[in-house]
Amino acid sequence: MQHDKHAPHRPRDSSCGHSASWHIVEEGFSADRYGLNATLFALGNGYIGLRGTLDEGLEGHAAETGCYLNGVYYSEPITYGEKAYGYAKNNQRIAAAALPHELRLQLDGVAVDLHHGEVLEHRRTLAMDEGLLYRLLRWRSPDGHVLRLESRRLVSLVDRQLVLMDYRFSLEQGSGVLSIESALDASPIEAGESEDPRVGAGINQADLAPFEHQANGSRLSLGFQLRSTGFALSAVAGHSLKLGKDTENALSPVSPTAVKSDEGLRVACRYELPLEPNQPVTLTKYVLYADSHTPTAVSAADLTQHLATCMEREFTQYAEQQQAAMTAFWQGSDIEIGGDPSLQQGLRFNLFHLFQSVGRTPGTNIAAKGLTGHGYEGHYFWDSEIYILPFFLYTQPALARNLLMYRHSILDSARARARELAIPTGALFAWRTIGGEECSAYYPAGTAQFHINADIAYAIRHYHDATGDDDFLRDYGAEVVFESARLWPAIGHFNPNKAGRFCINEVTGPDEYTALVNNNFFTNAMAQAHLRYAVELYHWLQAQAPDKAASLFRQLSLTPEEISQWHRAADQMYLPYDEPQRIHLQDDSFLDKPRWDFANTPADHYPLLLHYHPLTIYRHQVCKQADTVLALFLLGEQFSLEQKKRDFDFYEPLTTHDSTLSACVHSILANELGYTKKARHYFEQVARMDLDNHHHNTQHGVHTACMGGTWLCMVQGFAGMRLQRGQLQFSPTLPKGLTHYRFKIQVRGRLVELAVDQQHVRYKLLEGAPLAFSHGGRNLTLGEPDATISLSLAGNLHD
């Protein structure tokens, strides 16, 4: 870690106590970190996401701000240098909602901007236990005034439409007129183009059609439609201003001036407040959002009414609600670790952002960057199913269900996409999308990643296994599994050249440093699991819900012949293997390539994708991320420990981890293989990936898959948790440097707590029916709530 006094405070030892691991603190001010901190201090509630920019803005950094509504996007044609048939036609980009927190501040006519004057004190604290962002600013203006500003901000976890800001201004020195222009601002922001494919393009709001644009005293309302997609976005704001040392002695209300922009995309109210030294002004700003496509869509009148109700409560009451919601979250979802406050902080930070970013309503999912930035244009990827879903599945299964319901909701788009790819029946899910249509403009690392279909089926099986939610499987899951399974016979074939084995050519696996290969091991193995599950599900549905089965099979024209074809394809699936080395081959030709010349690759040439042409990269044995190794984790029961070891030993040295989806999987496998130092090393990468900005791009948004991976590292890595057909297994270890860890999981209606310290592992059933499980291969049962089993950790303590 580099020393940077402006970096979020990283506790150095456990003596920091409570606040260290629950708080992210920025001390002082650094314009260089403005974008990064805007991500780290972002707030969200699964619907609204608000970047942690300063209310008063910062000169030259307008493009760093952003407010998003999950699932709300605009669309524009993708421009190709050279087009071809079936390319994704339109991009979808998460839309910018009106900024809720914009304040233009002037002190005696001088703009408050931290680039000017002198920052005497500046501190921001993201309180993850409370769900609040605190700020203290003491700033000397160029003409000598000293302004003190204390503020709090929350995006409500209780009222999903609500963003709340609370400000307290005072002058510590001098007197003067404070002008506060508080806005709802949806004016387009120009952002530069980037050479980095991982950066979303600047949000271009050329297709905004304003329909509501009111400033009425301190009440603001703004509405506009996205012409390209039809989404209507509305926002209203109300202000409560109090002058004087406390509310008891409030001066008479001040009437603000209305400010409306010409183009109809910004409304504001401006207060002009003569201030004497130490005479505070308190302003609370209530902002409510709605859009036309979500369950909370409401009329302007409804919003106004709702606003009035909200304004009956003060900030403090909302803050209490917020804290209660966070407490409930942490109670079920926290992973407590002892001995390394820095990792503890990173871990909580990651879980906090996952919780803030995950969609709670139909048709919304969790973006690669959550709701913290428009990197990757706000798209949803397979990250949701493979990296993120387990955390929710075992802590808040309803949210996991919503993630999977999203896939069902875009099934028609996936069917249409399959037709474009000459796949005669079934569905092909988009590699990246918001609304369902394929948005990948580079098919070799997009559409060619056909494994997404299998990933989704895998997640559905996992969800059902962990919850027993038959209703979901019957009414939604089965259809997704069947339709997506049809991909494999369409793109694969029984290859006479490989003894009739079922081969799948011209695909790209998870590793994006290898593209368009034949028989990617991960893809084939996952397709095999997918087809097997589809066959199983066919019979399950017939047995469990014969009427539903009959109607669904009729609707899909699904016949026993097709099922037997699936069975045969799965049975004959070709899994490339190198006999001499006894390793799985990432694909047919992986061994035919020379190893990447790591020794002569300068450190600043990573990630390779920013310094080498794809042809240079693809020609070599080099992996961006776990590929074969990921299959060894996801389908771990199919492979012996010896096999996993040989594969890991072969692929790990070839892997750059240029993708943030890689280190967590390596940590889990390393743990399973007893590579305790590596397990710990990779975990450290993962746990503080964004906090320490390891990949130098957190300014574009957090890495939600990696955050999900943090949970995986702890629960599936160190604690060795697996679920196989309802059978829960653990094989806990304690990584070096930790004194203990503890977490809860929900499985099939039970709530179980696992606590590991240097001597013991303790299992405790907190809720639900008796639970049989295995510990290191030993079968155990927790008979009733509060039942506890305590075992020695001997031998599983990392050295």
Is residue 26 annotated as part of the catalytic site, yes or no?
A: no
594 touches a copy of itself by CB under 8 A: yes
Q: Could you say which residues in the range 514-553 bind a copy of itself, by CB under 8 A?
A: 515-516, 518
Q: Which is nearer to a copy of itself, 10 or 695 (CB)?
A: 695
Q: Check binding of 502 to a copy of itself (CB under 8 A).
A: no
Nearer to a copy of itself, 120 or 610 (CB): 610
Nearer to a copy of itself, 80 or 577 (CB): 80
Piece of the chain touching a copy of itself by CB under 8 A; list 171-179, 292-300, 498-506, 725-733: 498-506
Q: For residues 221-280, which are near a copy of itself according to CB under 8 A?
A: none
Using CB under 8 A, which of the segments 100-108, 245-253, 289-297, 439-447 binds a copy of itself? Answer: 439-447
The secondary structure of residue 117, as a DSSP letter, is S
Alpha carbon distance 559, 745 (integer Å): 39
Binding part of the chain for a copy of itself, among 83-91, 239-247, 287-295, 402-410 by CB under 8 A, reads 83-91
Residue 202 touching a copy of itself (CB under 8 A):
no
Catalytic-role residue among 56, 102, 512, 672: 512
Per CB under 8 A, the list member of 62, 398, 422, 641 interacting with a copy of itself is 422
The interface region with a copy of itself, picked from 47-55, 334-342, 441-449, 717-725 by CB under 8 A, is: 441-449
**Can you give 663-705 as a three-state secondary structure string?**
HHHHHHHHHHHCCHHHHHHHHHHHHCCCCCCCCCCHHHCCCHH
Nearer to a copy of itself, 211 or 442 (CB): 442
Binding range to a copy of itself, per CB under 8 A, among 44-52, 363-371, 589-597, 716-724: 589-597
* Interface with a copy of itself, residue 593, by CB under 8 A: yes
What is the DSSP track for 304-349? HHHHHHHTTS-HHHHHHHHHHHHHHHHHHH-EEEES-HHHHHHHHH
Q: Which of 171, 310, 491, 661 is in the footprint of a copy of itself by CB under 8 A?
A: 491
Q: Which of 384, 355, 351, 350 is nearest to 367 (CA)?
A: 384
Nearer CB in complex with a copy of itself: 152/432: 432
Nearer to a copy of itself, 32 or 193 (CB): 193
Which of 107-115, 119-127, 606-614, 635-643 is the region at the interface with a copy of itself (rule: CB under 8 A)?
Answer: 606-614
Q: How far is the CB of 709 from a copy of itself (least distance, A)?
A: 24
Q: For residue 385, which of 456, 473, 452 has the smallest C-alpha distance?
A: 456
CB of 93 to a copy of itself, least distance (A): 12
Farthest-apart Cα atoms in the chain, separation: 89
CB of 379 to a copy of itself, least distance (A): 12
d(CA 401, CA 418): 25
Burial of residue 334, with CB atoms counted within 10 A of its CB: 0-12 exposed, 13-18 middle, 19 or more buried: buried
Least distance (Å) from a copy of itself to the CB of residue 634? 24
What is the C-alpha radius of gyration for the chain, rounded to an integer number of angstroms? 27
Nearer to a copy of itself, 580 or 795 (CB): 580
CB of 424 to a copy of itself, least distance (A): 10
User: What angle do the packed helices 411-420 and 397-409 form, to 10 degrees?
Assistant: 40
Footprint (CB under 8 A) of a copy of itself, residues 442-461? 442-444, 446-448
Under the binding rule (CB under 8 A), the answer on residue 204 touching a copy of itself is no
β-strand partners of 741: 337, 756
Q: Are 485 and 566 in contact (CB under 8 A)?
A: yes
Partners of 135 in the β-ladder: 124, 151
CA distance 529 to 485: 10
From 140, 260, 360, 498, residue interacting with a copy of itself (rule: CB under 8 A): 498
Instruction: Residue 660: name the closest of 376, 420, 364 by CA.
Output: 376
**Does 86 participate in binding a copy of itself (rule CB under 8 A)?**
yes
Least spacing, CB of residue 450 vs a copy of itself, in Å: 9
Q: Which is nearer to a copy of itself, 91 or 484 (CB)?
A: 91
Per CB under 8 A, which region of 50-58, 350-358, 402-410, 510-518 contacts a copy of itself? 510-518
Helices (H), ranges, 575-638: 614-618, 628-634
For residue 766 the two structure tokens come to 């907190």
Q: Is 677 in the site for a copy of itself (CB under 8 A)?
A: no
Least spacing, CB of residue 368 vs a copy of itself, in Å? 14
Tell me which amino acid residue 729 is.
Q
Q: Is 569 in the site for a copy of itself (CB under 8 A)?
A: no
427 makes contact with a copy of itself (CB under 8 A): no
Rounded to a whole number of angstroms, the minimum distance from the CB of residue 256 to a copy of itself is 45
Q: 478: part of which helix (H) or strand (E)?
A: helix 478-485
Residue 599 binds to a copy of itself (criterion: CB under 8 A): no
144 conformational bin, left if phi > 0, alpha if psi -120 to 50, beta if neither: left
Nearest to 131 by CA among 65, 63, 46, 31: 46
Short-list 625, 648, 649, CA closest to 636: 648
For the CB of residue 498, give the shortest distance to a copy of itself in the complex, in Å. 7
Q: Name the residue nearer to a copy of itself (CB basis): 98 or 448.
A: 448
The token pair that represents 366 in the structure block: 């969790």
Q: Are strands 118-127 and 132-140 parallel, antiparallel or unpaired?
A: antiparallel
Q: How far is the CB of 415 from a copy of itself (least distance, A)?
A: 16
Q: Single out the residue of 115, 245, 611, 696 in contact with a copy of itself (rule: CB under 8 A).
A: 611
Number of Cβ within a 10 Å radius of residue 280: 17
Rounded to whole angstroms, how far apart are CA atoms 322 and 45?
A: 11
Q: Which of 288, 503, 570, 723 binds a copy of itself (CB under 8 A)?
A: 503
Q: Which of residues 87-116 bind a copy of itself (CB under 8 A)?
A: 87-88, 91
Enumerate residues 6+ apart whose C-beta is below 8 A from 27.
5, 6, 9, 122, 123
Q: What is the identity of the amino acid at 238?
A: G
Residue 19: DSSP 8-state: H
Q: How far is the CB of 494 from a copy of itself (least distance, A)?
A: 9
Query: Number of residues in contact with a copy of itself, rule: CB under 8 A?
Result: 53
Task: Give bridge partners of residue 265 from the DSSP assignment.
Answer: none
Report how far residue 343's alpha carbon sits from residue 686's, in angstroms, rounded to the nearest whole number.
Answer: 9
List, edge to edge, every strand of the sheet that includes 67-77: 43-44, 48-50, 67-77, 90-96
Query: Rule CB under 8 A: which residues touch a copy of itself?
Result: 78-88, 91, 195-197, 420-422, 440-444, 446-448, 491, 493, 495, 497-498, 503, 505-506, 515-516, 518, 588-589, 591-594, 609-616, 618-619
Could you list the active site residues? 512
